Amino acid sequence: MFFVFQKFPKPFLSLILKVDNANILSIRNKHMDSLVKIFQAANGEVRLKVLRFFLANDKDFFSIDDVEFNTKTRRDPLKKDLLFLAGAGFLERKLEKNSSVYRLNANFEYREALYNLVFDLKNLDKKIILDKFKKVGRIKLFSFAGIFIDDIDLEVDVLVVVDILKTKEVNKVLADLDATFASKLRVLIMDVEEFDYRKKMFDRFLHLVLDSNRITLVDKLSERVS
């Protein structure tokens, strides 16, 4: 579920979080010390993955092993991050069988606003996602829809069509995206043969995407002569 973007109250203090060398978020409010601390990370990519994971899975406690597996992050920086976020009030921490487990603090004041920030993917540098899919085959069509165009009813966020699918690479890329975006990104990927067949058969699911106000970065299919 995605919430409507919530603005922070005045007065303002700008704080920029950099991920993959791209400025994607701007937080403003000098009275939100705990929120500001949350974004002060040496490794912003790890911090963002952890924030998204707990905000998307807000009911249960998770071990370090659970978080490491789901976010695909290295254990040492992850342990430090979890302790830091618990100290900042974002996470609850308790001992279970002599090991620490963590859960989103249900009383964290800026929980909903933070959710809106870290899942506001419209401001993401879209080329970052495009580059990940270059490993799965020669891209013939690459479009952003769904949450990227404020159409959450559309069940596809990224449409990818390649010449020949490299299945192993597809699985790796999708696993990486799941870890980065807490399984919130909905991807439809197929080869050209399947695309042509589904388009010819007037596949409703595909045509809803094609007929939307999608943002297209690559389109080599429209160049073909029918």
- Domain boundary residue, one of 118, 142, 165: 118
Residue 4 covered by a domain: no
70 is in which domain, residue-wise? Answer: 14-118
Q: How far is CA 170 from CA 15, 44, 46, in A?
A: 35, 25, 22
Those residues whose C-beta lies under 8 Å from the C-beta of residue 39, and which sit 6 or more positions away, are 15, 17, 25, 27, 47
Residue 136 shares a structural domain with residue 55: no
Cα–Cα distance measured from residue 170 to residue 175, given in angstroms and rounded to the nearest whole number = 8
Helix, coil or strand: residue 93: strand
- Domain boundary residue, one of 118, 150, 176: 118
Residue 78 shares a structural domain with residue 131: no
Residue 132 shares a structural domain with residue 185: yes
Residue 98 shares a structural domain with residue 132: no
C-beta of residue 220 within 8 angstroms of C-beta of residue 141: yes
Determine how many CB atoms are found less than 10 A away from the CB of residue 196.
14
What band does 47 get if pLDDT is binned at 50, 70 and 90? confident
> DSSP label at 4?
P
The domain total for the chain is 2
Residue 76 shares a structural domain with residue 143: no
Residue 95 shares a structural domain with residue 134: no
Average pLDDT of the residues in 89-112: 90
Residue 35, pLDDT score: 57
**Amino acid type, 25:** L
Residue 225 covered by a domain: no
Lowest-confidence region among 21-35, 70-84, 101-115, 153-167 = 21-35
Q: State the chain's mean pLDDT as an integer.
A: 79
Q: Where are the beta strands (DSSP E) in the chain?
A: 14-19, 22-28, 62-63, 91-96, 99-104, 139-144, 158-162, 187-191, 215-219
* CATH code, domain carrying 73: 1.10.10.10
Residue 135 covered by a domain: yes
The neighbouring-strand residues paired with 200 are none
In the sheet where 62-63 sits, what is the strand order? 62-63, 99-104, 91-96
Cα–Cα distance measured from residue 74 to residue 63, given in angstroms and rounded to the nearest whole number = 14
Cα–Cα distance measured from residue 165 to residue 105, given in angstroms and rounded to the nearest whole number = 42
Lowest-confidence region among 30-34, 95-99, 213-217 = 30-34
Residue 18 shares a structural domain with residue 114: yes
Helix, coil or strand: residue 188: strand
Closest CA to 84 of 141, 37, 35: 37
Residue 99 shares a structural domain with residue 132: no
- Domain boundary residue, one of 86, 118, 150: 118
**Amino acid type, 210:** L
Residue 69 shares a structural domain with residue 140: no
Residue 175 shares a structural domain with residue 138: yes
Residue 28 covered by a domain: yes
**Amino acid type, 45:** E
Residue 226 covered by a domain: no
Helix, coil or strand: residue 219: strand
Residue 112 shares a structural domain with residue 132: no
Taking only the tens place, the pLDDT of each residue in 104-160 is 999 988 888 888 778 877 777 888 889 989 989 999 999 999 888 888 788 899 999
Lowest-confidence region among 7-16, 120-129, 134-143, 194-203 = 7-16
Residue 195 covered by a domain: yes
What band does 36 get if pLDDT is binned at 50, 70 and 90? low
Average pLDDT of the residues in 182-193: 88
Residue 2 covered by a domain: no
Residue 7 covered by a domain: no
What band does 179 get if pLDDT is binned at 50, 70 and 90? confident
Residue 27 shares a structural domain with residue 113: yes
